[in-house]
Every structure is written in C-alpha cells, then in structure tokens.
Amino acid sequence: MTEVEMPAAYDDTNIFAKILRGELPAHKVYEDDATFAFMDIMPRGKGHCLVIPKKPARNILDVDTTSLSAVVATVQKLAHAVVEAFDADGASIAQFNESAGGQVVFHLHFHVIPRFEGVDLKPHSGDMEKPEILAANAEKIRAALDQL
C-alpha cells in the first residue's frame, strides 16, 4: 500500500495560483509584496474575502513562517476593513487544511467574513455571486482599507 505523504506537494495548476499569475480574474481588494486578497466568488456572507500568500504554499502544513506571518498581518487588516466597510458586529476567520480538513483549493488561504448579530453563515451552495455585487463589495473594502 502506498502511503500518502504529508504535507502533499504544491500543485501550481490550482485556481488561486492562476489568479496570482493573472490567468483567471478576481475582484482584488488588497495586494502587497507577499500577499494578495480578493472576494470569494461563492460568499458565505456579505463581504466574504480570501487572503493568500504570493509564495506557493499548499496550506498551513507546508507554509514557511515568514510567509504565514505576512498572510496573518493581511488577514488582520482585512478583518478591520470588512467590519468598517459593512458596519459589521464582528468577523469570522477560517482556514482549512487538506480534504479531511475541509480544504477545496490547495493554495493556502484564510477566509475573512464579516458577521452580524443573529445572521448565520450561508451553507456551501455552489452558487456564484453576481459580479456586480462582488465588485461593489470589493470597492467598499478597498475604501475602508484606505481609511485604516
């Protein structure tokens, strides 16, 4: 029997690697030397966005701590920005590792989701949000980031 190696190797054909290379579009909200943030195309709540490192990493099991630190710093910026942008009561931060851990796209990412009292997250429906709504929400987040 072949043993599965942990962590598995990074595969640069994943969707987020394609977004980083400009091969697929994204509603960008933030970028610096080490990180990139954009709207989740199937949001589980209004303003749901994702933060990724530019340096290839499959997930938390193989990322180097320099890259991870940069991502977490951007996650904190985005958490402040989404709360401000949507007048939210809080924010949820989520991160999944390998299929067993709920990971679907194998480039490290953190979910940043504004939260509102009494409003549950939507289930994973597979429904894509309208591009104009993603664009409008991205604009609100960029404007909030400018004010931080």
State the residues that interact with ligand AMP by CB under 6 A: 15, 24, 26, 40-42, 50, 96, 102-105, 109
Smallest separation, CB 109 to ligand AMP (Å): 6
What totals of helices (H) and strands (E) does the chain contain, helices first? 3, 5
List the beta bridge partners of residue 90.
Answer: 115
Q: Vertex 105, ends 103 and 110: CA angle to 5°?
A: 70
Between 10 and 96, name the residue whose CB sits nearer to ligand AMP: 96
Between 1 and 100, name the residue whose CB sits nearer to ligand AMP: 100
Between 2 and 21, name the residue whose CB sits nearer to ligand AMP: 21
Query: Nearest CA to 112 among 45, 35, 15?
Result: 45
Q: From the candidates 27, 48, 107, 109, which is the catalytic residue?
A: 109
Question: What is the DSSP code string of 36-49?
Answer: EEEE-SS-SSTT-E
Smallest separation, CB 5 to ligand AMP (Å): 20
Identify whether 107 is a catalytic site residue.
Answer: no
The residues carrying an active-site annotation are: 109
